[in-house]
Chain A
Amino acid sequence: MIINHPLLGPRDASEFTYLGDAALMLRPNPKSDTAADSFYSYQYIRENTAGQHRELWYHEQGDRSWLVVTRNISTHEITKVELARDVKRAKAINNEAATHELG
């Protein structure tokens, strides 16, 4: 597998480790009344469709950046690779809402 790093260009998958769904970036607000439920969903509940996923990959053997990789888990085609920090800053994760933790 090749991940096309937005700054470094194409790199072999052996340089990376996988964490999980990009939803892990949407850490819920711990102060909210519904924190127990929202943290439970955050930690364990996933859609897991047989198609496009946004995944978190860590460039462990490269520049140690975290990346959001948009990958079809059926065809393995990767259509987008972004720096996770940019995605988080742009709040470009679906369903970002005030229920999520600020700063």
Chain B
Amino acid sequence: MSLVDKNVPLNFTFDGKAYSGFEGDTLASALLRDGVKVVGRSFKYHRPRGIMGAGSEEPNALVEIHGRGVCEPNRRATTIKLFDGLKAKSQNHMGSRNFDLLAVNDFIHPFLAAGFYYKTFMWPEAFWEKLYEPVIRRAAGLGTLTRRADPDSYDKGFLHCDVLIVGAGPSGLLTALSLGRAGQRVILADDDFRMGGRLLSESFTVNDALASEWIGEVLEELSEMPEVRLMPRTSVFGVFDHGIYGALETRTDAIGVGGARQTLWRIYAGHTVLAAGATERPIAFANNDRPGIMLASAVRSYKNRFGIDLENTVLITNNDDGLRTDAAHIIDTRGGGYIANTAGRKGLRSVTLHTGEKLTANHLAVAGGWNPNVHLTCHKRGRPVWDKALACFVPDAATLPADMSVIGAAAGHFSTHSAFADANAVAKKLGAKTPALPKAEDAPIQITPLWHIKGAKRAWVDFQNDVTAKDITLAHQEGFSSVEHVKRYTTLGMATDQGRTSNVVGLAVLADATQQTIPQTGTTIFRPPYSPVPIGALAAGHAGQHFKPTRLTPSHSYALENGAAFVEAGYWKRAQWFARTGEKGWRDSVDREVIMTRNSVGICDVTTLGKIDVQGRDAGKFLNKVYVNTFSTLKVGKCRYGLMLREDGIAMDDGTTARLSETHFVMTTTTAKAGPVFRHLEFVRQCLYPDMDVHLISTTDQWAQFSIAGPNARKLLEKIIDPEFDISNEAFPYMACAEMKVCSGTRARIFRLSFSGELAYEISVPARYGDALVSELMAQGEEFDAVMYGTEALGVMRIEKGHAAGNELNGTTTALALGLGGFVSKKKDCIGKVLSKREGMIGQDKLSMVGFMPVNETDKITNGAHFFTKGETHNAQNDQGYMSSVAWSPSLNSYIGLGFLKNGTNRKGEVIEAVDYMRDNHVNLQVVNPHFIDPEGARLRV
């Protein structure tokens, strides 16, 4: 009855050896068919292990997939769809998987019991870093990483549906059919590459015909429905808030073959039907982990779906379902029988019954009962409830995530008939008509639980993390009796399979040890992801150059062509300086830009500073509320500097605001704070004063803005401003603004503002003209030896001028500290005013901004240095403040600094010590006026 296509052979290698399989195989089925027994070594004891399951619950067969020089580790061979050219390798061994040097761990196992690392490797302390840790690191872990870049790309997406059906077994398929026929938007997802669920692995009939026929008919009809989306190879791994689900769709397991290897989907579902089925669990008895010992359900999968007859199979079962397995000998534990031991390190050879009788066996099918896959019902902190009759946990209807229904085996309704019945019930509930119930088996669950053989040695519970029943009882003996403690102490259920086949057995062992019932013992918390999600998929679309967006200024191309080095300011790329041939380093460029700007004229792109359009009858009143100073009195055609506080009185941002008309202002912010200030203004507008007539909109990208600074700034500007506009000092004084035209009719706004301290203007044109304007300015500026200057020169000049900037508006400074205490209007309230008057924020002894120069001309000043009164011990108590901005000043031929000094404004002339232990630089500095050049501001008003 096999579902593999023997007409399509596929070749692959495992540990370098060539094998073959067929289309429809998994790597595991192909290896089994080819007689491979040992597929890897266990985590701690390096015991030889074989394939145990047939699906995502597989704990042993972890392999690496290799391709294009990289490897993907920890993949379960049971979930890899076989493809031609697959190169797989086994994991976790030193030497070959058949002769693993670390198998010595198995022989010293008494010393490696649970929690051994809390009790060993403690002494001597010095040995930890040099010896123990490196040795343990080499021995620990599962697969390897090549540390090379991933050649694959991944994808992300967003899907919307009325109903998400998780699992395409009988219940999921029938539900999809009803809902699809009713025209609902349905997503049917299954993590297998073939839909059909358990029907693919049993020999059940549906409507008296092969189940695969019924599956085929349903899928054909579903695939014709435009509102139904079939998603095989898609694992729904997590339930999040408000009906949002995470799903991982795999396109191929092959590495580096192009396209998106996997897609991470965020699914917005109106309702979810969990039809995720159930997973069989084993029984823990002595040496129950030999290669060849498998879950009975897996033995049947390999037979019915993959056409593999496993030779010499013995069955041990505690329930009726296990009896469906073909076996030469059956041990039904309900009659008192059990297995006392097994033999065959590299492949099962025999099992020893409780009577002492030894049976030849190459495969042992273990049927310990079924666990409904309840995980998704618990991702929102629900817990499952114990069903005594079924001997398993089932979903708790009272704590299900909102809008989720559970049907079929996932709800503890194990027969195919009840799966169909559930499907029709839920489809009806969701408003769809349902077809007649297909005819199917309806066998009841008959189980007498047997979890482990008490006292059995080396009885494995968690195969992947190598946790035995003895480890669990040991944990309890040492006082770790809560299920959460046992989990962490023994690592039960913490491996990549997250305890699929081990949690419930482990709970039962713990319950026995603590002499409680299983429901009293409880479960640990289930968290997403249900199955592993690669970091690459989570980062889809945001790797490499796509990690974050970049914002480019209108003069970016011009800057690229003119030797600019760029700095990242948030998302923006800003020119730092413009290197010219012959210059040996950035200092050459920056010094030149400063000198040329101060001596003639320089041009800088300042587009990145936030621009906010403020319009309305109450615009002035609104600005009065957010700025410490008054703007309602600002005349049309004028600009004013403004300082904005946070409500706690700390300085938030500063800028200049221009008034273009009675009801129209244009505010500027710093580059970094453009977004936060806009958000803050909207908060004030909508949440505090919704009845003010004021509107805000960001215009940062709309206008290209350039600063033109230096003694020749006016002369340069006159060359491009259209003749009808007068920018003489009388007609257009310092802090004036106006709409004008440049270059024969280009709309422009001119603001006479200066950050550098020189005669300066800012010119704003629609961004489409930004590139052309900067070229034109530099062409017209040639007669003045005009330079472009970048953020470094911009910074040097504002420090020379003593302007506070981001370093000073650092989230801890007040208006007082910035020397702007007098700037705060006494006549009106503003955001931050009340709390700025708190005791701890005012007073002479508080920090205030001053300037610093080295006493010794050749000394270097470092930023971040702390100040001390000369002679005092360098400790926190004596700390007098810190340096916030430092630059080499070409204008003064010296290092200069701005910083915050306690009672600074009254200490000018004093020599203090600036101490920098990090860069080992302690210097004597003189406290000076922070306005190093032109403190009277004469140059501004020329």
Residues on A facing B (Cβ under 8 Å): 1-2, 10, 12, 17, 19, 24-25, 27-28, 30-31, 35-36, 39-40, 42-43, 56, 58, 60, 64-66, 75-78, 83-85, 88-89, 101, 103
Contacts and interface: CB of A to CB of B under 8 A. Distances in A.
A66 B687 contact: yes
Quick one: which of B243, B688, B835 has the most chain A CB within 10 A? B688
A74 to B, nearest CB: 9
A30 B833 contact: yes
Contacts of A58: 679, 682-683
Contact of A2 (B268, B686, B687, B838): B268
Contacts, number: 72
B241 A25 contact: no
B244 A103 contact: no
Contacts of B647: 39, 42-43
Contact of B687 (A25, A30, A43): A25
A28 B241 CA distance: 35
Nearest to A32: B834
Contacts of B679: 17, 58, 60
B686 A66 contact: yes
B857 interface: no
Contact of B829 (A1, A31, A40, A85): A31
A-B pairs with the 8 shortest C-beta distances?
A85-B690, A2-B242, A30-B829, A39-B834, A66-B686, A76-B241, A85-B686, A25-B687
Nearest to B266: A12
Contact of A36 (B240, B243, B834): B834
28 contacts: A1-B240, A2-B241, A2-B242, A2-B243, A10-B268, A12-B158, A12-B266, A24-B687, A25-B687, A25-B688, A27-B688, A30-B829, A30-B833, A30-B834, A36-B834, A36-B835, A39-B834, A43-B835, A56-B687, A58-B683, A60-B679, A64-B682, A66-B682, A76-B242, A84-B686, A85-B686, A85-B687, A88-B688
Contact of B834 (A17, A35, A56): A35
Given A43-B835, A58-B683, 17 more contacts: A1-B244, A12-B266, A30-B833, A31-B829, A36-B837, A39-B834, A39-B835, A43-B647, A56-B683, A56-B687, A65-B686, A66-B686, A76-B241, A85-B687, A85-B690, A88-B690, A103-B689
B583 interface: no
Contacts of A30: 829, 833-834
Nearest to A37: B834
Interface of B: 158, 240-244, 266, 268, 380, 402, 647-648, 675, 679, 682-683, 686-692, 829, 833-835, 837-838
A89 B689 CA distance: 9
A31 B266 CA distance: 51
A37 to B, nearest CB: 10
A82 B78 CA distance: 50
Contact of A78 (B158, B242, B268, B689): B242
Contacts of A89: 690-691
Nearest to A38: B834
Nearest to B691: A103
Nearest to B621: A103
A36 B838 contact: yes
Nearest to A24: B687
Contacts of B402: 77
Nearest to A27: B688
Contacts of B834: 28, 30, 35-36, 39
Contacts of B690: 84-85, 88-89
Contacts of B158: 12
A60 B243 CA distance: 23
A1 B682 contact: no
B687 A88 contact: yes
Contacts of B266: 12
Contacts of A42: 647
A30 B828 CA distance: 10
Contact of B242 (A1, A25, A83, A84): A1
Contacts of B838: 36
Nearest to A78: B242
Contacts of B240: 1
Contacts of A2: 241-244, 268
Contacts of A31: 829
A88 B688 CA distance: 7
A89 B690 CA distance: 7
A84 to B, nearest CB: 5
A64 B692 CA distance: 17
Nearest to B678: A64
Nearest to B402: A77
A85 B695 CA distance: 13
Nearest to A30: B829
A48 B682 CA distance: 25
Contacts of B688: 25, 27, 88, 101
Given A39-B835, A40-B835, A103-B691, A1 B241 contact: yes
Contacts of B835: 36, 39-40, 43
A65 B683 CA distance: 9
A93 B487 CA distance: 47
B804 to A, nearest CB: 24
Contacts of A24: 683, 687
A85 B525 CA distance: 41
Contacts of B675: 60
Contacts of A75: 380
Nearest to A89: B690
Contacts of B380: 75
B4 to A, nearest CB: 42
Nearest to B830: A30
Nearest to B160: A10
A76 B837 CA distance: 39
A43 to B, nearest CB: 6
A56 B244 CA distance: 22
A36 B833 CA distance: 10
